[in-house]
Amino acid sequence: MRIIVCDAGPIIHLHEAGILSLFKNVGEIFLPHSVSMEVLAATDLADNWPEWLRVVQLASSELKEAEMWAKLGDLHGREAEAFILARTQKADWLLTDDSAARLFASLLGVEVHGSLGIVLWSVAQEHLSRRQAEQALNNLERSSLWLSAKIFDEARKALIDMTSS
């Protein structure tokens, strides 16, 4: 099973779009404790935390390393903690919607995906139909996820290409 470390953005955005359950199909999802606190502050998941979102408390040495990475890499502390956790978990994917974090991860050779990627992956794996994916993209566009209209248009074109046969 795929090991995935997630930053707060994809959890918040997929929750707002009503499609957080897509994560159940992707793999084992891990997030640092600080990321879970950010998610709890931004959502109503406190009373209904999904059991498949596994929270990990980093060691103090890992937290210190994350602080250093945050200073050097133009990252938030929680994103840096997600990078540390991805390394310790030997994650297959890192999920983040933050462009600076995505760039940083790609420079480190980590495979990175975001909220749109989860929707498109779910279509490719036949967990979502084209119609469901179109609705998911519409819902994501109305969420707090900020992406340009061009990016959403590209995702819709990819969806058409994936489902046309």
Segment 15-60, tens digit of pLDDT = 999 999 999 889 999 999 999 999 999 999 999 999 999 999 999 9
Mean pLDDT lowest among 35-44, 70-79, 84-93, 148-157: 70-79
Task: Tell me the average pLDDT across 120-148.
Answer: 93
102 and 39 within one domain: yes
- Domain harbouring 54, CATH code: 3.40.50.1010
Q: Are 22 and 48 in a shared domain? A: yes
Q: What residues make up the domain containing 151?
A: 116-163
Q: Are residues 9 and 70 in the same domain?
A: yes
Q: How far apart are CA 97 and CA 11, in angstroms?
A: 10
Domains held by the chain: number: 2
Contacts of 127 (CB under 8 A, 6+ apart): 22, 25
Alpha helices in 44-93 (DSSP H): 60-73, 77-89
Question: Would you state the structure tokens that stand for residue 161, as one six-digit string?
Answer: 């290409």
Task: Extract the tokens encoding 102.
Answer: 């995505």
CB 96 within 8 A of CB 79: yes
- Give how far the C-alpha of residue 36 lies from the chain's centroid of Cα atoms, to the nearest Å: 12
Q: Are residues 144 and 92 in the same domain?
A: no
